[in-house]
Every structure is written in structure tokens, then in C-alpha cells.
Structure 1
Amino acid sequence: MAQRVLLECFTRAVGFADVASVQPKVVPVRALQLELSGFIVMADWIASNEDHFSGIDTLDAISLEKARSRAEKAWTELGLARGWGRIGEPSVEDFRSRFQAEPRSSQRVAIECAAGMGGPGLMVVEAPMGEGKTKTALLCTEVLAARFGLDGVFVGMPTQATSDPMFTEVRAWVAEVDPNAASQVALLHGKRRFNKEWQRLSGVDAAADFGFVSVGEDEYGLEDPYGSGDFDPCLSERPQRTVPAEWFMGAKRGLLAPFVVGTIDQLLIAATRTKHVMLRMAGLAGKVVILDEVHAADVYMSEFLVEGLRWLGQAGVPVILLSATLPPRQRRQLLGAYLAGARHSESLDLPPIPDRPGYPRVTTAWVSAGSEPTIEQSVAPAWRSEPLKVRIEIAAEEISLTQLLQHRLEDGGCALVIRNTVARAQQTYEELSAVFGAEVRLLHGQLHVRQRAEETDRCLELLGPRRGGPQRARTIVVATQIAEQSFDVDADLLITDLAPMDLLLQRIGRMHRHDGVLRPPELRVPTVVVTGFSPRGEGVPDFEKGSEYIYGRYPLLRAAIAVLRDRDGHWEIPAQVPDLVAEAYDPDSPVPESWAGEVGEAYQSWRDDQQKRADKAAPFLLTRLGEHGNPTLEGLHRGSGTYVSDDDVRVRDGEEGIEVVLIRRDEHGFRSENRHQLGSHGEVADEVLDHVLGGTLRLPTKLRGAANASLRPLDGWRDDPWLRYSRALIVDGDGRGPVGDYRIRYDQLLGLVIE
């Protein structure tokens, strides 16, 4: 009764006669209902902060005017701000001032396509590696924001490592559009405390940055179930910050910041049946969404991507997808999901998708009010004056890589060697460094955080382009898939294990990436040497076991067909990229007659596995099959019982590894991995925290169970907000230690070695 009276009084206070007169004449679409729910939660969390909204003792102090005054005061004190507001529509010529570069033909075409869209919609930009897709997307974002009144952007990257340089690039771009808005760019991932630019801009050190935690990571920091904890108002001075307000940095609130750079996981979890999903969707409202390297989403991740695109399509949020190697079937699936959402339907009979020959290619799709979906496609010449003719060679497993490199690098040059497993990369590094010494570098995911960051920077420096400068010193970088995408190097020679065709082409994009680089005579013809399998005459080749375990037999068979067919020939890059990818994913593509039976069996097994992996995502998806056309949010979270806990949801397939912190123990007690002294029970002084956290290491999946059972925080970490949930991996002076029944060694050159 009291609630109804309060509701009636409030209704009259805001100008309505009664509750019935507030009823909407038209039910808003579900996406808008979800976004409004998120903004209500946001308002509730802000109002729950007693520092800004203390109790009221008398009825005389209650009025709508005073409530608005208190809300305005709290908003100002919290430092909440919008994005860039209304901006003018840029032209192709504005590209120069934004990026200090002349726009390429493909960039001009994409910008013109964005300007020609009849409503908020989906853009798919397919262009070769090194073509400048990111800059294209940023200026297209300006076009869409100006035309449709949007006030920010979310940029989703495939990994944390690729998010860091993108944060720098996006911040510089926002500053060119509106210098006052540059301070509103947020970096969202759990390792941002190690990003030097973020530390400098936020005015706080790593130890003080308790805020955002990335999806799927342990929530270090303070417990704050209502998301209301903020900077201590009792402090006399706030650190000077040039990043968004502290309020945005709390758990589940990051996407509400005006400009956001993070991993694609932030979008994927916005499509899950989690408790505060409405906050994430509210954060995407009014933004342009850019997703880079979308081809990297496997079948499991794609389920969440498709679901997210449905909701964004219904909400009228423009999305720009970037890829160098997008299979036609995947392109059609993504277009269909967005347009079905825009039409508020469960499924949609797509109009014919233009399939114009040529590459780079831009596809745009939108739904105008009361009309059928529109899909358009444009192509443009690549920026190179001539195609890159990449020579295809094969080195069977028995061939000596050392001898091959001694011959090819006799006159210097830079080689990139990509292996499909960490163990294989470590073995290759040991073999090569025995001959080439310090000219060999190693980069993979089982290095601790500090070493991996340092080694990445060093590799980028050694293999970076030096256009018009002197020839680079002889260098060999041995890496895993970490070098496959968003890794801006320009190798003279590529040696790579066989991988599915789209990934193989991504790796080829790391070589001869720039014109004007001085290369040794032996390496002026771009050459990829494919390893990791051994041809057997007319029969099916033998594949390296680790590669087959990771990728499956069928995709490797398809890639092997193309490599064997064209060996000692060449691929024209980028012209052949679409055809090579399409052929590799078309089950009707021709195969050698002697392979037909085995390829058929492998395809059936692969297809069944793909379906099982897609089905695994179903319990986590925000909307169940058959319910996308529902008019309201009723029952949205019910599914098989209730909503899914954030701790339980997985938007990436497979059991994840587990993070630990390397700690050394000697006769003096505990030390950080780089030998800074800790307290007798492992206590960590503020000035040492960065050194301790820099020793964070992700163990491989097979050690997860053993680590969960045997590794615990040090006693001195129990009250530390950063370390109390961290597992310590204690090693001796030689870097050796136990993980359950496993014996591991952390080698300063090789990284983690399982003995």
C-alpha cells in the first residue's frame, strides 16, 4: 500500500495525472527496454552513495526541485561526463588532419560507403594486412556519429596485448576530433595497471588502480556489490586524471564510459544471461561499435557475437567489423544476425548479397523505417601498386631449419618463425640459438607479464620497418600464434607451421608488409616456408600432432591442399586472399582423388565438433532460440533456472589456463621474480607491488587442476587487495618448483618449461 501511494505521489509530482497516463502508447523494442533498465540501475547505484545522497530528516526538505539539485551536485562531484556531443560530418580530406597521412583508395571507398548508408547499420570492411583498416574504421565512426547523433565509441580487440596500442591510437584520434573529449577514453582490461600510458594519464600507480577487472579474470580489489564505491571524498586532493571518472572504472560499469577500448569479450559478455547485462547494453547505447579481427572468433565465440549483433541491430547501434580474411559463410551469418535484430525477428531471409569481384571490399547493410533490408557492396584497389607475389615452399619435418636459415640469412635479414605450440617454439629456439646465439629471440604466451611485454617491444623494434634506411641486422624471432595478428612487424622471410588458411594468410601478412624496406638480395622475393607437416607422395600428409590437436584435421587438410598445389609457385596477395579463404571453407571445393575418403571423414568429424562447440554456448546466451521476437523482457533470465553468474560464464571456448605469481625463495626468504625482497610471510610493500605482479604467469590448461589443488596465496597476502586471491608459484634459485605432481622450471630465456 505504501509503495502504491509513493508511486502515485511521485507520478503527480512529475506532471502526470495518474499512473495510467504514463503508460507508453507503443511498447519500446526489447533492446531499448534493456538499455533503459541499465540506466535505471546506473541511477540507483549513484543514488546509493551516501556521501552524495545523505538521508533527509523532514518532509519539508522533499521536493522535485531539491532532488534535481542534489542529483546535479552528485553528478558534478563524481566527474561524470558525456562524449564529444554533436560533431560535424567529416570528409575524406579530414583523414589527413586526423592521421597525418594520405587516405588510400580503399579508405576513401569505405568512408564514402559510410556516408551513403540510409540508417544505422552494419559495415564489414575486408582488406589485407597493413591496409590501414583501423584508421578507416575510426573515420567511418565519425561519419556515422555525425549522421545519427552518436556520442562515443567502443573498440573491441582480440586480446589484451592488442588493446594497449589501440588505446593510444584511439586517444590520439579523439583528441583530433575534440581535444576536450580525449580525457574520456577508458582502457578496460585486467592488466591495464601495467600500461605505462594509463598510469601516467590516471595520475595513480598500479597499486592504486583497484577499478576495472576484465571479463573472465579474478576480481582483485574491493568488494562492492552495488558498484557504489568511489574515490574517498575525505581526501583533500584528487590525483590529476586525464581519463574517465573513477565511477566508470568499477566492475560492470566500464562500458558506460564515453569512449572505450578493450577486448572483444566486453561485447560478448553483453550478450550473455548474466545478472547486470543491462548495464553493459546501456553502455553500448549511443556508441559506434568497432570490432577488429573478427575472423579470430571461433564457432563458440561466434555464438555470442551473433547474439550481440542481434541486440545491437535492434537498438540501432552502428557496428563496423574489420577483417583481412573473412569466410563468405561467416560474413553472411553476421549480416543476417544484425539485420534480423533490426527487423525484430527470429530469422530473416536475407536479400541477395552482392558478390563483386575484387579486394579490398566494403559491405554495408541497414534497415530503413518501414522498408526491407538494404545490402550494398563496394570494392577498391589495394594500396600497393603491384600485388605481392608470395613464393610458396615446403620444408618437411626432417629438413634442418638451422641450415635453411644459414643459407637464407647469409647476407643478413630478418626471419619470423611461427610455431603452433609453446613446446615446439622453445625447442626451435634452443636449436637455433645454439648456432645464431643472441640473434634469436623467443616470444610466446608462457612468459611472465613483465618479460612478455619487454620481449614484445624488443621484437617490434627489431622487425619493425625501416623504410629507406639501412638494412636491418640479422635477426630471427621464434614465436607462437601471438605473432599472428595485430603484430606490426615486417619480416624479410616467414617460416610457419601449417595452420588453417585464414590464419596462414594472417601470418603471411607479417612479411614484406611495407614498401621501401632495404632487403638482402636472397630475400627480396617474399617467401613463406611452410613446416609442420610432411607430404607423402599422392597420399594424405602427416601432420604435427600439436597442430592437429589445436586446429583439427579437416582445416589442416584444406590448407595443405592449397599449399601442395601451389608449392614452388606463388600466391598474389591481396588479390587471391578471398578465393583462398572461400575455397578452404567450402566443403564442395575439389580435393585430390586419393584424399577424398579421408577428407570426407575429417569433414564429418569437424562439422560434428563445430556443432557441439556451438551448443555449449547455448546455456549462456542472453536470448534462447525462438524468443528473439518476444515483445518484452519477461522471462529473459529464466532459461534452465536462473541467470548465469559472471564467474561461471565463458565467452571463449575451452578450459582456461590459470594465472599464478612467480615467487622465488632462497636463504633470505621470499623475493619477487626479479628478486625484490618481501616480508617474512610474503608481505609486499607498496613500492614492490609492481615487481611482484610483473611476475604473473598463465599456466597451461593441463596444469589447471594441479594448480587449483596445490597453490595458495602467501600468508602475507591475505589482507592485500591485489594479491589475496593470487596463487603463488614458489620456485627455488634455479627457477624450479612443484605444481601438484608436476615439476616446472622457469627459464629466463625459454619461459615456463614443464619437466
Structure 2
Amino acid sequence: MDADCAEAVWQAGLRWDRFKVGRVRWRHDKAGAVLLRRVLPDEGWADEQVAWVWPLVAGHHGRFPGGGELALRGARLRAVQVPDADWAAAQAGLVRVFTGEVGFGDVAAVQPSSVPSRAEQLQLSGLIVMADWIASRLDGIDGLEAVSMDAARRRAREVWAELGLRGGWGKLPVPGPEVFQNRFDRGPRTSQSLVLEVARRMPAPGLMVVEAPMGEGKTKGALGAAEVFAARFGADGVFFGMPTQATCDPMFIQVREWVERIEPGLGSQVALLHGKRALNAQWRALLEAVAEDPDDDFGTIEEDAAYGLPQSAGSDGERLVPAEWFLGRLRGLLCPFVVGTIDQLLFAATRTKHVMLRMAGLVGKVVVLDEVHAADVYMSQFLKEGLRWLGQAGVPVVLLSATLPPAQRDQLLAAYLSGATGDEHEAVGVPRAAGYPSVTAVWADEHGKPAHVVEHCGSWRGDLRVRVSIADEPPAASRGSGDVVADLVQERLADGGTALVIHNTVDRVQETYRALRARFGADVGLLHGRLSAADRATRTADNLALLGPEENHRPAPGERWILVASQLAEQSFDVSTDLLITDLAPIDLVLQRIGRLHRHATSRPESLREPEVIITGFQDRGNEPPWLLPASEAIYGRMLLLRTAATVLAARGGTWSIPSEVPSLVAEVYEGTEPVPAGWSDAERDAADEDLRDRRDRITKAEQFLLTRVGHHGEPTLAGLHRGGAGELGEHQARALVRDGDPSIEVQLLTRDDRGYRTINGRSLGLNGDASAEVLDDILGSTVRLPAKLTTAAEEELAPLPAWRTHPWLGHSRALVLPANGGARLGDHLVGYDGSLGLVVGPRKAG
């Protein structure tokens, strides 16, 4: 690759075929592996040590080849080196010289004393890639005479200082009983104390599953446990995984404040990691407030065009975000503290290029995953694969859920223990907790055998008796569901109060909102996933204020507030309402929605003193199977809806004790322990068979992408790990890989007039789509996610505006330009944006 250096090697007497060398694809990663496989045994290394070391060299460009891929014979070998003793002597000499330069007496002295686990090998491989990428920032050297170890070390120190890399909190003292007061300005609740106690008792890193009611304080308990684990087992940071991008954003602020309490100034090392973090106002403010060059809003970070991050150190040198190098593509998990979607862990369980960087970012941290029940059967395959690798690496993991099905819990425990013990565990024999809230913890004991502890305690608050009502919805009703809901709200909120309506589809949300708005005017709010980013953020904040714990912000006595929402309001939405109306969904999700009832200790109208959930979206047909809303069935499947309907109908007119009945209700539906009505049995059995087939199909679909191929978990090395795997994926491609379902796409909504493009709130962008700092917020705020049925048309018909193509944040964004009146044609649909309803999608009219 360098003519002068090549000539020097040639003059030294080493030969190759000058005419064919460029036709043979042979790079230094594979060549280095071949060299080690030949030289190390000659230097006295055992075969088992050579076997795990050479893949680290062969895989440092992101993919581990199998041994068969290293064969280079005949004409192909002669093209790169004439097979004679001189080449072999030179290569062996190279290994000996560099071994001496790094401080060893001979090559034999470098031989490891044992073979690390594959998870540790993968972490080490990720650190090698990290070192290689950092070294690539060094200036090249033109002359061989300038090469020396002293010069290399000096240059490495310089680039390290330039990058500003650092670790987390280092070695922590084990926190005492005062930790909760110090971190959160109050003492722990009973369940939080239990979490801390179990964390202190575990003799080795393991998996802790915390099951507790909505609003119990699981997050703070998990942060406390993470600090205990970090102090006891040497973890130097935390990854906090959330189910969605929307739930990541508030958690980022909470984790940043918590880290800052542990060590002032350390909050600057917390990174927000998800595909749309550029839309997060707090994250962008931290970046932009400290830009070194006020005229350069985006900075120049190597390989980071997709992020365009500005400099992160102010004029006084104080950092507000992690080093820029950490924030580049594929490197986010290497930050000391990370808040991101659970996808970030799932990506680390895929057979994709550079997966070792993701695993290196997780090993050495405490991993906390919230709302783990939200992982469906497809996602769960990647979650279990990730837990297996983390268990093998000895990473402490905390899983949080209010409504975790028992079988799912058992599978997650088994996956972690399979990695921790090195034995396959289909079932772990861990007993179920006798109460709720509960903590279940597993680990490998000193003999490598499974060990566990299961504890439970009482909730910090007493049971809430929630009345269960049903609003039958005939499939061919003369009026839309919106009018049915409006009648219910008018009756229940006659004396004022608050109501939350949750539907399973956006179309249904919009329909009900129209009906309620016609009836109650400005007393109705709307929240769903097809609002622009700006509208969604504003409405979320407004509703958190209106329905949150602060009494003085809630509607005054006699006033009403009704929020109609999609599943966005299902979890991690800290509101409290007097009445809940919800579509039928699987029981765990219904219970999650019930968690929005009387969540805070605020006053209520006398007529709404008793919490009530009204369930609609289906029709009771007595001894015949109920009619189910087709859209709900398409989302959740028929079996769980039938079983949930049976449980709901059995409770009609009565009450559920929340939270104490939550585990039994979830188990009843997911395990089918309570029979459905006799007339439904055939339908339920057929639905169960269909569900089983679907689960098997989705498991099979996921298996082809898992980090470890089926039947290869017992392999001792990383050789061939990437066989049959995917290449390097972008964020959207990786997300599609770990989430089974119809792909969707986000676009920027714009309008256009005689003067050019405008944002949907009227800011001018000129003829080419100006993307300067002054209008960037407006453009990003116009981001909206299209329904899946429009994905293909959007990919074929939409593109960035001309001025966006070189922009770091908008270069891959698609613009959907709406006419001043009416909708835009996209595929077979008309798409418009209503300031009240959000994105409205309808069929294209004839002509």
C-alpha cells in the first residue's frame, strides 16, 4: 500500500508476485491471524491458548472468520509472499521484536495462564477494536526510521489527552443505609429496602428480577442496587435500558441527577443513546451550550456524520457530556453511563459486524432494564441471548416489571444462569415469590452451580379496590365508539374530575377524540404516536402537569379534563386519573393502564371516590366467544384477548385488589389456569394452537440473527462467530432486526408556497430547504412517524431536501411536503396534518 515501504521490503530480499498481488484480497487482519497460528506454537504456546488468541487479531475489523477462511495456498499465496524460509523468519522475528518492545522476555512469557470465557474474549476484542480506532487518529509516519515504541507511546498519550476519554466512578465504597436519603432526599420504601438488602447479600454477580406495582419506586430501587453491585463487584458504570425512546428521555435526566449525587461533576459522563436523541431538548442543550466554536453548531467528529455532534467542552474546560469520540457510531455503549432503549442491549446479541464494541460497552457495567414484560416473543430471543452472554461475563443485571408473566420470568432466569454456569438451563427450579412486591435473584455459586434467593414484602401503600365495568361494543353499532365513550364520560364526570381513555390504534384514538371534543370542547386532550415531535413533547408535558401529583395544577373542583391516548399512556407515564376507559388488551397491559388510576394522593370528586376501569373494544356474547375488535386482535393475538375477556367478564361488577391481585391475574391469563366459558373452549383451543405456531415461527425467524448460532453456545473461542451473520447495520436497520413487525419510518412535515418551503408552523426554509441553526428546531420538531402501511411508498417517493443532503442531522431525513389545502398523495393514501388531530391518513379519492 506504500511504495517506498514496499521497495524497502523487496530490497531486504522478501519477494511476492508484483503482477498479481493487487488481485488477491488479503488484509492484515487475516494475515496476522495466520502468522500467530504458525509462530505461537513454535514458541511453546499450548494449542488451546493459540485457539482463542488468533481470532482477536483476525476479527479486529469487526468480523470473526472461521479457521477455514484463513487458508491461502498456491498462486494466491505466491501473489502476496513467496513461500520460503526468509518470509517465515521475518514474520517470527517481527513477533519476537515487538514482544520484547512491550516488556516481555520472550514470546513464551506472554502465554495466558487460562482460557477466558467467550464473553470475556468478546469484551477484549471490543477493547482491541477501540484501541485500533483510537490509533487510527494518529498521524501517519512516512519513514521507517521514525518508528519506535517510545515515539508510539508519546503519540498515544497525546491523542488520548486530545480525545478526553475517561471511565466512570472508579472504585466505590459499599453504600450504607443512608444511601437512599443521600441520593433521593428521602428514606427507602419497604420494597426498595428489600432490593438493597438482596443486592448486599448476593455473594456473586447475578441477575435480580424486581417485580413491584406501578408507582412503587422500582427505578430508584434499581439505581440503589446498581450502586451496591458496582461497589461490591467493581463495575465502573451503568447501562439503563428503557422500552421506548420516549421513556428514555425523562430517565436520562433522572440518571444524570443520581450520578451527580454520587460524585459531583460525574453527571457529564451520562449519555443518551437512541436513534432520535437529536430531538431531545435536554440532550441538545447540553451539547450546544458548551460548543467551543459558537459559529460551528455541529463540529467535526470522525465518522460521525449521522450525529453531527458539537464540541462538548466549554471555554472553562468543564464537560457536560461524554467525550465526542464516545458519541460516534457504534461507540455509545462505551460511555461510562448510558440511558438508551433496550434495543442497545438487543443489538449486542446479534451476529452483526462490530458487535464486540457493543459487548465491550456492557461488560464492566451494571445493566438495568425497565419494563421487561414489554419484550414480545421475537425480542425476547435477543434479550435471552444477551443475558446469556452477560451471565457468562459476570455482569450484574437488574430487571424491572410490574406485570411479568411467570413463564417469561423463568426463561430470563434460565438464560442468565446458562451463561453464568456454563450449563444449559431450560428450567431453573426457582420458586415463585409468595407475595408482591418481590425480588428474585440468581447467580452461580463457587462451584459453578445455580443459586437463588426469593423474597417478598408488602407495598408501601394499601390495596386499591378497582371496580371493573364493561361497555359492550357491538361490531355493527349505529354510532361510532367515540359516542359510546362520550356517553360514559358525561355520566361519570357529571360533577367534574379526570378521565383517561386508552385505545389500541391511532385511528380509534382520533375518532374518539373527535366525538369527545364535539361534546366537551377544550376539556379534551389528545396524545398518540402520530403527533409531530414538538406537539407530542408539548402535550406530554402539559398532561403530566395536569394529571401529575401536584394538587394545585390539577383541574379545579367541578372542572373536567379528559385525555384520549394510544398505548403511549400505558407505562412510564406518571399521571393519576379518576376514571379509566380502555380497549381490551392482554391482562398485563390492562393492569399497566390501571396503574394510571389514583396513582397519586390527590383529592377526587365524591362520585369518583371509588376507582373504576371500564373496558370496551369487545362485545360479550354469553356462552359464545366474544366479538373482538379486529385491530386489537391483529396487534395482540386472539388467545390472550379471549383469556383476558374471560377474566374481565368474571370480574364484571366486582373489584380487583390492586396491586396484590396483579401476579395472580397475570398468571391466570398467561398460563391458562382458569378455564374460559364452556362455549368458548374450542375457540380458545384453536387460538392457543395458532399462538403456539406463531411463537415457533417467530423464534425460528429470530434464531438466524442471534449472536450465537443454534447449537454453538458451547464453543470455546470466537472463531467463526460471524458465519452466516449480517454485515454492519445502521440504527434503523438494527432496530428492524431486533423488533419483529412491520417497519415504519419517520419524516419531516413541511409545506410549500411561492417562496419555497416552510415548516408546519410557518417558518420559511427558502427554495432549497434552509437547515441553519435558526430553523433547525422547527424542522426537527416537525418529525412524525408514518404508519407502517406507508413505509414502502415513503421510501420510494420521499427524499431529503437539497440543502439537507450534507447536513449532519438531516442528511438521511425524508421530507413530506403537504399542500396548503388538503393532503399529500403518498402511495394509495392521502396524508395530512391537523393541528388538533395530528397525522391523518385516509384512502386516496378517485380522480
* TM-score scaled by length of structure 2: 0.84
Query: Aligned-pair distance for 1:223?
Result: 7.1
Distance 2:663 2:310 in 1: 51
* Deviating more after overlay: 71-80 vs 560-569: 71-80
Structure 2 counterpart of 1:390, from 466, 470, 482: 466
Query: Aligned-pair distance for 1:231?
Result: 7.2
Indicate yes or no: 2:496 matched with 1:412. yes
User: Is residue 354–residue 375 contact of structure 1 (8 Å, CA) maintained in 2?
Assistant: no
CA, structure 1 residues 236+705, in 2 after alignment: closer, same or farther (shift >3 Å)?
A: closer
Structure 2 counterpart of 1:719, from 787, 806, 812: 806
CA, structure 1 residues 470+656, in 2 after alignment: closer, same or farther (shift >3 Å)?
A: closer
User: Is residue 580–residue 597 contact of structure 2 (8 Å, CA) maintained in 1?
Assistant: yes
Q: What SS is found at the alignment partner of 2:766?
A: coil
Q: Which has the larger radius of gyration?
A: 2
Report the equivalent of 2:784. Answer: 697
* Deviating more after overlay: 463-472 vs 610-619: 463-472
Distance 2:712 2:759 in 1: 52
Distance 1:447 1:148 in 2: 44
Query: Aligned-pair distance for 1:135?
Result: 0.0
Report the equivalent of 1:446. Answer: 530
CA, structure 1 residues 468+751, in 2 after alignment: closer, same or farther (shift >3 Å)?
A: closer
- Give CA deviations for 1:458-487 in whole Å, capped at 9, x if unaligned: 111111123588764410000000100100
* Deviating more after overlay: 101-110 vs 311-320: 101-110
The aligned amino acid for 2:216 is: E
Indicate yes or no: 2:544 matched with 1:435. no
* Deviating more after overlay: 405-414 vs 358-367: 405-414
Indicate yes or no: 2:319 matched with 1:241. yes
Report the equivalent of 1:682. Answer: 769
Indicate yes or no: 2:498 matched with 1:498. no
Indicate yes or no: 2:739 matched with 1:739. no
CA, structure 1 residues 239+194, in 2 after alignment: closer, same or farther (shift >3 Å)?
A: farther
Distance 1:552 1:470 in 2: 37
Indicate yes or no: 2:114 matched with 1:26. yes
Distance 1:709 1:201 in 2: 36
Distance 2:299 2:470 in 1: 50
The aligned amino acid for 2:494 is: E
Query: Aligned-pair distance for 1:190?
Result: 2.5
The aligned amino acid for 2:790 is: L
Indicate yes or no: 2:446 matched with 1:355. no
Correspondences of 1:329-344 after superposition (within 5 Å): 329-344=407-422
Correspondences of 1:12-51 after superposition (within 5 Å): 12-50=100-138
Distance 1:599 1:230 in 2: 53
Q: What SS is found at the alignment partner of 2:738?
A: coil
Q: What SS is found at the alignment partner of 1:400?
A: helix
CA, structure 1 residues 299+479, in 2 after alignment: closer, same or farther (shift >3 Å)?
A: same
Correspondences of 1:84-95 after superposition (within 5 Å): 84-95=169-180
Indicate yes or no: 2:703 matched with 1:618. yes
Indicate yes or no: 2:366 matched with 1:366. no
Report the equivalent of 1:480. Answer: 566
Distance 1:448 1:149 in 2: 43
State the Cα RMSD in Å.
2.4
- Percent identity, please: 55
Query: Aligned-pair distance for 1:351?
Result: 4.5
The aligned amino acid for 1:553 is: R
Distance 1:693 1:372 in 2: 52
User: Is residue 362–residue 379 contact of structure 1 (8 Å, CA) maintained in 2?
Assistant: yes
* Deviating more after overlay: 19-28 vs 579-588: 19-28
The aligned amino acid for 2:226 is: T
Query: Aligned-pair distance for 1:559?
Result: 0.6
* Deviating more after overlay: 441-450 vs 580-589: 580-589
Q: What SS is found at the alignment partner of 2:542?
A: helix
The aligned amino acid for 2:472 is: A
Aligned length: 737
- Give CA deviations for 1:299-343 in whole Å, capped at 9, x if unaligned: 010000000000000000100000000111011100000010012
* Deviating more after overlay: 288-297 vs 622-631: 622-631
Report the equivalent of 2:305. Answer: 222
Q: What SS is found at the alignment partner of 2:743?
A: coil
- Give CA deviations for 1:604-640 in whole Å, capped at 9, x if unaligned: 011111111121111210001111111000110003x
Correspondences of 1:296-695 after superposition (within 5 Å): 296-345=374-423, 347-348=424-425, 350-384=427-461, 386-397=462-473, 400-467=484-551, 472=556, 473-515=559-601, 517-639=602-724, 643=727, 645-646=729-730, 648-649=733-734, 650-695=737-782
Query: Aligned-pair distance for 1:212?
Result: 11
CA, structure 1 residues 241+371, in 2 after alignment: closer, same or farther (shift >3 Å)?
A: closer
Give the unaligned 5+ runs of structure 1. 214-218
Indicate yes or no: 2:212 matched with 1:127. yes
User: Is residue 306–residue 811 contact of structure 2 (8 Å, CA) maintained in 1?
Assistant: no
Distance 2:540 2:796 in 1: 32
Query: Aligned-pair distance for 1:344?
Result: 2.2
Give the unaligned 5+ runs of structure 2. 1-86, 478-482, 843-847
* TM-score scaled by length of structure 1: 0.94
CA, structure 1 residues 232+752, in 2 after alignment: closer, same or farther (shift >3 Å)?
A: closer
Report the equivalent of 2:36. Answer: none
Distance 1:190 1:456 in 2: 20
The aligned amino acid for 1:360 is: P
The aligned amino acid for 1:734 is: N
Indicate yes or no: 2:342 matched with 1:264. yes
- Give CA deviations for 1:394-453 in whole Å, capped at 9, x if unaligned: 011257221211121111111000000000000000000001111101110011111111
CA, structure 1 residues 48+463, in 2 after alignment: closer, same or farther (shift >3 Å)?
A: same
Distance 2:397 2:512 in 1: 41
Distance 1:196 1:455 in 2: 15
Query: Aligned-pair distance for 1:7?
Result: 2.2
User: Is residue 623–residue 678 contact of structure 2 (8 Å, CA) maintained in 1?
Assistant: no
Query: Aligned-pair distance for 1:13?
Result: 1.5
User: Is residue 447–residue 752 contact of structure 1 (8 Å, CA) maintained in 2?
Assistant: yes
User: Is residue 80–residue 245 contact of structure 1 (8 Å, CA) maintained in 2?
Assistant: yes
- Give CA deviations for 1:265-316 in whole Å, capped at 9, x if unaligned: 0000000011010000001121000000000000010000000000000000
Distance 1:154 1:583 in 2: 33
* Deviating more after overlay: 200-209 vs 182-191: 200-209
Q: What SS is found at the alignment partner of 1:678?
A: strand
Query: Aligned-pair distance for 1:592?
Result: 1.3
